[in-house]
Amino acid sequence: MDHSVLRVDLTEGKITKQTLASEIVHEYIGGIGIGVRIVYDEVPPGVDALDPENRLVFSVSPLTGTAVPGACRYHVVGKSPQTLFTLSVSDSGGFWGPELKSAGYDTIILQGAAQAPVYLWITETSVEIRDAKSLWGMDTFETEDVICEMLGDKRIRVAAIGPAGETLSRLACIENDKGHIAGRGGFGAVMGSKNVKAIAVRGKGRAPVKDRERLHGLVKFWKEAGIETSLHKWGTGASLERYHDQGILPVKNLTTNQFDVDKLTGQYIRTKYKLKHKPCYGCFMHHVNTVEVTEGPYKGFVGEEPEYELLAGFGSNLGIDDAGAVAAIGEKCDRLGMDAIGVAWAVSLAMEAYEKKLLTKAELDGLDLTWGNAEAVLSIMEKMARREGLGDILSEGPAIAAERIGSDALNYVVTTRKNMSPKCLDLRGLPGRSLSFMAASSGPTTEHSPGLHGGAPDEELGFPEGIDMRATTGHAEALRKGGFRKVFVDSCAVCDFVIPPPKLTNLLDMYEAVTGHRLAFDEAMTIGERILNVQRCFNIKQGLTPEDDDLSERLLTAPADGPAKGISVRPHLKGMLHEYYQLMGWDHKTGKPLRHTLKRLGLNKEMHDMWGGRS
Amino acid sequence: MAVNVHIHKVYRPFTEGLETVVVEGHTVAECLKNLVEKYPDIKRVLFATNGELLKNIDLYINHESAYPEELTKSVSQGDDIYIHLLLTGG
């Protein structure tokens, strides 16, 4: 399989086309895998995330742009300005990834920094670095529209940063296709530090497929399986009410677990609002629509249907009970180019600090940042993106913001010790998810979301009875295996939502139909394990220690009410982490992958880097 | 009373490929118990070891969500119970 790489040296203004060695592709596939490999090889310790020598790698896979449902994602990998020192990974859907593939490229590497704002314009026949001074200052949606207009083609796909990326906010994201976000990791700031406003792509090529007839049959099965899901029927907001009833929905910065979610659920939105389908490339899932809000203070607003993370993060977590308000806040966040999850936790920190008088109205430039005040949230987000007033502090992310606010803020903040906040859940009732987020090599990004989904039986991972999500045992093995599988899925750059169980088995069938290459189950799991270990080694080289695999005080403190009242995961987490290290073949004292683990995975360079001696 | 249980596509291997199984019961619990009696292997993908419905299972009765009552919800002659998957995240 050829894997085509576009290397853009922004300092020199030089563009090089390369083909990756086939053994790299066999061992890392694409997506997160290729990104992690490149960043490990090219970003040495001591290089700051916003230094020109950081790399920003955009990568798709052999499945991208084919008829494989959900094969629309692209992964972004680099050293993260949000975590300050780890490698991080972010990914997004929409159409940009398949368009890149159609243009004939699988990976883009950004290195160096341009002298003035630029954008990249990539087609099958040319790659140009163009002047973007007129685009600087525009929000992400405007940037997409203006570039399409300038280049005279509405079908161009654009990945862009907004004002937050330009001001190097640690919460800055990369946005494409009017609301698809590579949110985690702060990579919008990395792009901003390189003076890259956008990457525009247009291609007409067709992704190669070995066995189209077989692929068609498999797609049919996936489609039929996917339609009978809550996701198809109600979107990701379907689970909101259940999460609230289970005590795992975040409410007001985890100060309580009681909230009226009636008007926030996916069921409510899809029943009350006007909907227009807005699929990603090749996807039948219907998990997102364009909505028109039909009631409340934001009646008439037209924008993207808010997903779970927004409904939880900007809804219950900020004391806002109106999905229309959440939709408006979500679009603003996307346009400004910020990570909704990070912003949600930063704002909820500020709201609690304001409630408890650690922050004054004067410090908030007159904003009454009380729970439920959606207009105040819109205003503070604008200040965050432009680094104005307290927005400058909040723009550093919740962890640093808590340090700078000082006093008890450090006890309020919801974050991992790697400075990245977790998904919008109240983890305190979920020991397995707590372990997942604290152990995640890159901060709690997607690669450590798994374990077993909701505790469901997972025969292919060896859990035929499932796992009790509230239990304090058994999660380390679920996380290990679930992590390997998830990372392999991400190396294929396929949306996790669309793959029916048994996930890996089904994905490998698709992989064979597209590439002609049959990967055994164990081979795929080893690829996932390899990628995870390269990530881990990168972080160790950059200074990670076991103390960084931890959570903030708020996440270790028992809930005050709700189904998990009085239950703290704190007594159990160190033991669970110890077990995870052991199963992963990592050293307890240093957190380093052990020599024999790295040797087994063929990671000789990493073995030398971790343990010295001859590779 | 006779109720139709519609099996999610990925679980049809447990019901010998059948999309619909006719069961007897007055509540969802009774209906699913009857389903398990007919096809015992399906039990582990529907129920946790403590007898609770697994959290990834999303039940509908005649296209209306059975949540929150779920297992205790009453059914009538000729009703349709749909077993869907609850997918979360995003």
DSSP string, B5-69: EEPPGGGGGGGTT-SEEEEE-SBHHHHHHHHHHH-GGGHHHHB-TTSPBPTTEEEEETTEE-TTT
User: In the prediction, which pLDDT does A469 show?
Assistant: 82
Any A CB within 8 A of B12 CB: no
Residue A197 to residues A158, A184, A353, A519, Cα–Cα distance (Å): 10, 18, 34, 39
- Strand pairing partners for A59? A75, A107
pLDDT (tens digit per residue) in A345-386:
999 999 999 999 999 999 999 999 999 999 999 999 999 999
Q: What is the dihedral of CA A137, A140, A146, A152, to 10 degrees?
A: 150
Within the 25-64 window of chain B, which residues sit less than 8 Å (CB to CB) from chain A?
44-45, 48-49, 54-56, 58
Q: Name the nearest CA neighbour of A494 among A306, A304, A280, A308.
A: A280
Indicate the pLDDT class of residue A84, thresholds 50, 70 and 90: confident
CB contact under 8 A, A500 and B10: yes
Q: Mean pLDDT over all residues of chain B?
A: 94
pLDDT classification of A451: cutoffs 50, 70, 90: low
User: What sign does the CA torsion over A317, A318, A319, A324 have?
Assistant: negative
CB contact under 8 A, B88 and A241: no
Q: φ and ψ at A176, to 5 degrees?
A: -145, 155
> Nearest-CA residue of chain B relative to A239?
B88
Position A466 pLDDT exceeds 90: no
- Verify whether the Cβ–Cβ distance B86 to A497 is below 8 Å: no
Whether B87 and A229 lie within 8 Å, measured CB to CB: yes
- CB A80 within 8 Å of CB A55: no
| CB atoms A242 and B67 under 8 Å | yes
Q: How many angstroms separate the CA atoms of A595 and A585, rounded?
A: 9
Q: pLDDT tens, A175-217?
A: 999 999 999 999 999 999 999 999 999 999 999 999 999 999 9
Q: Which of residues 386-445 of A touch B (CB under 8 A)?
A: 423
CA A217 to CA A237: how far, in whole Å?
30
| Tokens 């698709």, located at residue | A510
**Interval A525-532 mean pLDDT:** 97
Residues of A in contact with B56 (CB under 8 A): 453-456
| CA dist list (Å): A267 to A65, A242, A262, A333 | 31, 12, 9, 23
pLDDT surpasses 60 at A449: no
- Mean pLDDT over A13-37 rounds to 96
Mean pLDDT of A268-279: 95
pLDDT for residue A447: 47
Q: Is the pLDDT of residue A15 over 90?
A: yes
| Highest mean pLDDT pick, A227-231, A390-394, A494-498 | A390-394
Q: Looking at this protein, which amino acid is placed at residue A591?
A: G
E-state strands within A43-113: 56-59, 74-79, 87-92, 107-111
Distance from CA of B50 to the nearest CA of A (A): 10
Percentage with pLDDT > 70 across chain A: 97
Q: Residue A444 pLDDT > 60, yes or no?
A: no
pLDDT of residue A413: 98
Asked whether the beta carbons of residue A228 and residue B84 sit closer than 8 angstroms, the reply is: yes
Please report which helix (H) or strand (E) contains residue A597, including its range: helix A595-600
Name beta bridge partners: B57: B85
**Whether the model pTM is above 0.90:** yes
**How confident is the prediction for chain A on average, in pLDDT?**
94
User: For residue B67, which residues of chain A lie inside 8 Å, CB to CB?
Assistant: 241-242
Q: What average pLDDT does range A445-461 have in this prediction? A: 70
pLDDT at A455 > cutoff 70: yes
Nearest to B90 among A241, A309, A453 (CB): A309
- Nearest Cα residue in chain B from A244: B68
Crossing angle of helices A475-491 and A431-439, rounded to 10°: 50
Q: How confident is the model at residue A98 (pLDDT cuts 50, 70, 90)?
A: very high
Examine the pLDDT at A12 and tell me if it is beyond 50: yes
For residue B11, give Cα distances in angstroms to A265, A478, B18.
27, 22, 9
- Report CB contact under 8 Å: B87, A233: no
Percent above pLDDT 90 for chain A = 87
CB contact under 8 A, A245 and B45: no
| B69 interfaces chain A, CB cutoff of 8 Å | no
Considering chain B, what percentage of its residues have pLDDT values greater than 70?
99
Residue A551 backbone phi and psi in degrees, to 5: -120, 160
Q: Is the pLDDT of residue A399 over 60?
A: yes
Measure the CA–CA gap between A540 and A217, rounded to whole angstroms.
Answer: 44
Which helix (H) or strand (E) segment holds residue A128: the answer is strand A127-131
Residues of B in contact with A497 (CB under 8 A): 87, 89-90
User: Is pLDDT of A260 > 70?
Assistant: yes
Q: Is A465 on the interface with B (CB under 8 A)?
A: yes
Which of A73, A180, A231, A308 to mutate to probe the B interface, most B CBs <10 Å? Answer: A231
| ipTM summary value | 0.91
Chain A: residue nearest B69 by CA?
Answer: A242
